[in-house]
Amino acid sequence: MDLAQVAALYRQVLIALGEDPDREGLTGTPERVARWWKEFLDHDPGRTDTVFAEELRSGTDQLVIVRGISTYSLCEHHMLPMELDLTIGYRPCGQVLGLSKFARIVAAHAHRLQLQERIVDGVAADLIKATGTMDVGVAADGEHLCMSMRGVRQNKARTFSYAFSGAFADDSPLGARLLAVATR
């Protein structure tokens, strides 16, 4: 990323908005914004694939649900923030995913210009790869500032999306259980 070019462009934006980028309060703003973009786009979530072997008792209906994973991303249509709360579930099959990996996988998808639906689908696909099971469900509840602070200005509107595969798909009881946890 060309930090100097991004800063120069933000300086031009301020001028086009009728602001003086050299006035007190705005001094250094273009450079700060450019550094923020670099930090946001270059985010390294760390390892996302740490699993632990786990022998489960036969006949059990094991389900792991992690909820309350919060993240921010940027809407690719308006470049305004969205705040998402994700709930993720899967059925282990001989191994369990390290708990921090759920948040790391979410961060890996959120740190770019995005759509909520693409984040949910990408997280689900990565969980399938990491856990080795198709029994994965991901649900996201989001507030999009492109809808809250511009356009129709509906600051209480929420967008809910989910991606279910395996035992979570096709209106299954497992999918219903995950949705109940995600929406309570």
> Given this model, what pLDDT does residue 47 score?
86
- Are 16 and 76 part of one and the same domain? no
- Are 159 and 132 part of one and the same domain? yes
Q: How confident is the model at residue 58 (pLDDT cuts 50, 70, 90)?
A: low
- Are 132 and 176 part of one and the same domain? yes
- Are 92 and 110 part of one and the same domain? yes
Query: Is 1 in contact with 37 (CB distance < 8 Å)?
Result: yes
> Given this model, what pLDDT does residue 151 score?
85
pLDDT tens column, 152-168: 898 889 999 999 999 99
- Are 16 and 99 part of one and the same domain? no
> Is the model's pLDDT at 126 over the cut of 80?
yes
- Is residue 113 one of the residues assigned to a domain? yes
Pairwise CA distance, residues 80 & 66, whole Å: 27
Taking 3-state DSSP, the helix, strand and coil percentages for the chain, each rounded to the nearest 5, stand at 40, 25, 35
> Is the model's pLDDT at 56 over the cut of 70?
no
Q: Where are the alpha helices (DSSP H) in the chain?
A: 3-16, 29-41, 100-110, 116-131, 145-148, 173-183
> Is the model's pLDDT at 110 over the cut of 90?
yes
> Is the model's pLDDT at 15 over the cut of 90?
yes
- Is residue 173 one of the residues assigned to a domain? yes
> Given this model, what pLDDT does residue 94 score?
83
Per the DSSP assignment, residues forming a β-bridge with 165 are 136
Q: How confident is the model at residue 20 (pLDDT cuts 50, 70, 90)?
A: very high
Total domain count for the chain?
2
> In whole angstroms, what separates CA 119 from the centre of its chain?
5
Domain that residue 25 falls in: 3-41
> Is the model's pLDDT at 59 over the cut of 70?
no
Per the DSSP assignment, residues forming a β-bridge with 143 are 83
